[in-house]
Structures are given as C-alpha cells and as structure tokens.
A = this chain, B = another copy of it.
Amino acid sequence: MTLSFSLLASAGHARRGRIHTAHGTIETPVFMPVGTAATVKAMRPEDVASTGAQIILGNTYHLMLRPTAELIARHGGLHKFMNWPGPILTDSGGFQVMSLTELRKMTEEGVRFRSHIDGSYHMLTPERSIEVQHLLDATITMAFDECTPYPATHEQAADSMRLSMRWAKRSKDAFIGRDGYGLFGIVQGSIYPDLRRESALALQEIGFPGYAIGGLAVGEGQAQMFEALEFTTPHLPDNKPRYLMGVGRPSDIVGAVARGIDMFDCVMPTRSGRTAQAFTRTGELNLRNAQFTDDPAPLDAGCSCPACSKYSRAYLRHLVKAEEILGLMLLTWHNLQFYQDLMAALRRAIEAGDSLSGDADSVVRRLLPPAEA
C-alpha cells in the first residue's frame, strides 16, 4: 500500500498532519533539508536528525551523474549509502536539467542534456527519472515535469503545464509501487488560476498519494506566490499531503502553511550557513559583519544548537573570517535547527488552533520570539 496521510488538526487553512511511510512517520508541516549529492552539506546525518529533521531531499540529477543511481543501488540504496535511515524524497531531475540552458534539448520524449561534470550526454525522460528514483530507493518519488520558467505567457504556461501532465501520466505508469512508498504529482500552470486548476484536476484524474506545487519561488515574489497558493490549494484534496517545492525563507514557509501547505524543501538554511548568514530569533545576521568581532553573546540566545550553546558570535565570526570549515559546519547546523524549531512551533500553533493569520514576518517573530536577555 502506498504511503498515507492523516490530517490531525486544522486551523483556518493551516493543517497539522502525519505521513506514514516505509521509513517512518513524518509530522507535518515539515521542512526537508536538502542533501543534494547524498549528503546534507557539512553535516553528519545523525546531527541533521538531532535538529528534528524527519525527512531529507536528494537530487536525482546530481546522483544519476555521480556516483550514479546504479552504484547507489548496488550499495543498498540511498538510505544505507548515506547513513540516513529515515524517509527520503527525491526530486525528478527535471528542475536541474532545465536550468542547463546551454546544455539541454527538450522534446515530447524528455530532455537530452550534457553533464556539468564531464560533458557526457544523458537522456532524462519520465521513465528514466522514475527508474533512477527507484534505484535510489526514494521513499517519495517525484513525477518528472517541466518547471515552467517565469515569466511565461498564458499560452507558454499552458503548453508547458500540459506537457508536464502527459509526463505525470507516464511517470505514474513507470512507477513501481511498494508498501509505504509513494509517487507525488506536481501542479504547474505558472501564475494563471485556470491553468493551476486544470493541472490540479488532471493530476487527480491520474491519482497520486500526494501533490506538489511547482513553478513557484522562481521570481514572482512572495505576494504573488501566496496568491497562487490561495487559488491552487482549493483544487487539491484535503486528505493528501501538499508540498511546495523549493520554498523558502521562514516567512515564505509560515505564509504557505497558513495557506494549507504541508511540506517544504529549500537550500536556504544550508547554503546560507556556508556563506556566513544565520537565521535567528532577532533576524538574519551576517557573521562577516565587523559588529560581531568582539560580541560575547550567543548567535541566538533562544536556540539550543551547538553553535549557540557553546560559542560566542565573536568566535563564530573568527571562524568565518579565517575561512575555517568549523564555521560553516556550525552555521549550517544552527540554520537547520532554526528551521526545525520553526516547523515544531508551527505544528504546536496549529494544534492550539492558531490559523497563523497576519503578516508572515510577524508570525515568524510570534512563533520564535527573541529570548529574554
């Protein structure tokens, strides 16, 4: 039987749920750290789990090229290979191959592209994407789609979305179901309400245990993204998880949860950690800033992660300035902890009947208030 979803509570449009999978249970709303190349960058998997992360994301495009999905399959699948026994969601590879603008050619069949690593030619089709994700042993497999570029005319968006719907059907046909595993469809349609509705209904016609919303957070801005969620989620079933792909900043997540989204992934916390940016209860801090040179305070007094509980901002800034690996290790850890603390606060808030209404930034501050001095 495919993975399943229980809706435990709701408040306004916000939902508190649980996804039951072959690799464990996922409490939603959930944030999935990105583990592109079979590693959440600069983190041991035990430490990722210690932040409260329940599921991570792997990238089909990167893994099929290096070390290859076949190698990972020979080594028992991605869970065993990378020492993450919990659920793993893999993307379809579509988003990444589309971004190889100079190196790919798209047809009805799929996308022919050249590897960014060694220039070798590869073909990614719905069937091949699903096969790769099967070899990786993904708990949640994503249908192969085209992430419609932004901006797009109505005609471009319609053509792109309808191709993705044909690919979604081929993905479903190619998917080999197993107990507690599942294949998610992806709603496209850019910023056009009629296309989003058409896409959502087309996917439900095919039938999936979960639905993602793709093609957002691609430059349209938060207000338009929230608006797109408002006219899309009413066309999605209540009894299936909803995943907003590639989102986002804390306020993006809070606003999307308020509009009925259950799942998120984003490189933001990990990438920011590697570039000295920290998300904290007192705002976003850049540790390169000279104001922290002699600052004895913890990075975020309200946080229990190692970076905050054992070091000063002065020390963290020293590591950043000296380009020490420990600096990006600790900042990555903190940012992942911040995101998981936010998700835990969101889950508690919804359980308590909080519909998360109001300005998203204000809700973030309300959920994670600065610690008392």
Interface residues of A (CB under 8 A from B): 37-39, 41-44, 46, 62, 66-67, 71, 74-75, 81-83, 293-294, 296, 306, 310-312, 314-315, 318-319, 321-322, 324-326, 328-330
Contact = CB atoms under 8 A, between A and B. Distances in A.
Given A43-B326, A75-B296, 7 more contacts: A38-B318, A42-B325, A44-B326, A67-B318, A71-B293, A325-B325, A329-B329
A315 B82 contact: yes
A325 B328 contact: yes
Say how many copies of this protein the assembly contains: 2
A67 B321 CA distance: 9
Please list the 5 inter-chain residue pairs (A to B) with the smallest Cβ-Cβ separation, ordered nearest first: A42-B325, A67-B318, A39-B326, A83-B310, A37-B322
Nearest to A326: B39
Contacts of A83: 310-311, 315
Nearest to A65: B322
Contacts of A324: 37, 39, 41
Contact of A75 (B41, B67, B315, B325): B315
Nearest to A325: B42
A157 to B, nearest CB: 35
27 contacts: A38-B315, A39-B319, A41-B324, A41-B325, A42-B325, A42-B326, A42-B329, A43-B326, A44-B326, A62-B322, A66-B318, A66-B321, A66-B322, A67-B293, A67-B318, A71-B293, A71-B294, A71-B318, A75-B294, A75-B296, A75-B314, A75-B315, A81-B312, A83-B310, A83-B311, A325-B325, A325-B329
A66 B321 CA distance: 9
